[in-house]
Amino acid sequence: MLWGYKELKNQFIKPQAVILLGGSTKYLEREKFTAQFARRHPHLPIWITGGSPKQFTERVFTKAGIDPKRLRLDYEAVDTVTNFTTLVDDLESSGISNVYLVTSDYHMRRARVIGEIVLGSRGISFKPVAIPSKQAPEPIEKSIRDAARAVVWVTTGFTGTHPNKM
């Protein structure tokens, strides 16, 4: 396969799933946005990593008319890097190679950097879907730090968060 061919090819493939990087329990904005987004994509499974407790998340999606069977809830992640590392193998083993990536606009730069490294390491491409907010983008230093952590994970399996998980 020629370098870049798969990437070019995936630009034309419709996403096969939605990944939501869960947000604050206090507001549930990311979950509410994603529930409405999922209504426009009724056949896609929704992978939710982190965020609000299960009962709150399920309630938001149920109110939006989303079948709870579409939800894949993951609460292993403790930060943005592990949002990706805890899901990527399951996505790959499910044959998913292209996803919508949903998170807040202020968080999207860091999510994209980590996603390119972690998801990209398994041949998974993504289309970012930013949730509008009134917050300034996160400092670039967070993206740089987490990019380094993602590269370490790809090469060693270590995220820097779970010393006993490799």
Whether the per-residue pLDDT at 2 is higher than 90: the answer is: no
DSSP 121: G
Phi/psi at 96 (5° precision): -85, 125
- Let me know if residue 164 belongs to a domain: no
pLDDT in tens, 109-161: 999 999 999 999 999 999 999 999 999 999 999 999 999 999 999 999 988 77
Kindly report, residue by residue over 29-88, the tens digit of the pLDDT: 999 999 999 999 999 999 999 888 889 999 999 999 999 999 999 999 999 999 999 999
42 backbone dihedrals φ, ψ, rounded to 5°: -65, -10
CB contact at 8 A, 20 and 34: yes
- Residue 2 domain-assigned? no
Pick the residue with more confidence: 76 or 166?
76
Whether 109 is covered by a domain: the verdict is yes
74's CB contacts (< 8 A; 6+ apart) are 47, 48, 49, 50, 86, 87
The answer to whether residue 161 is domain-embedded is no
Domain annotation covers residue 102: yes
User: Domain of 43?
Assistant: 15-156
Per-residue model confidence (pLDDT) at position 13: 77
Q: Could you tell me if 146 and 113 are in contact, meaning their C-beta atoms sit under 8 angstroms apart?
A: yes
CATH number for the domain including 127? 3.40.50
**Is the confidence at residue 18, as pLDDT, over 50?**
yes
Domain count of the fold of the chain? 1
Which pLDDT score is estimated for 62?
97
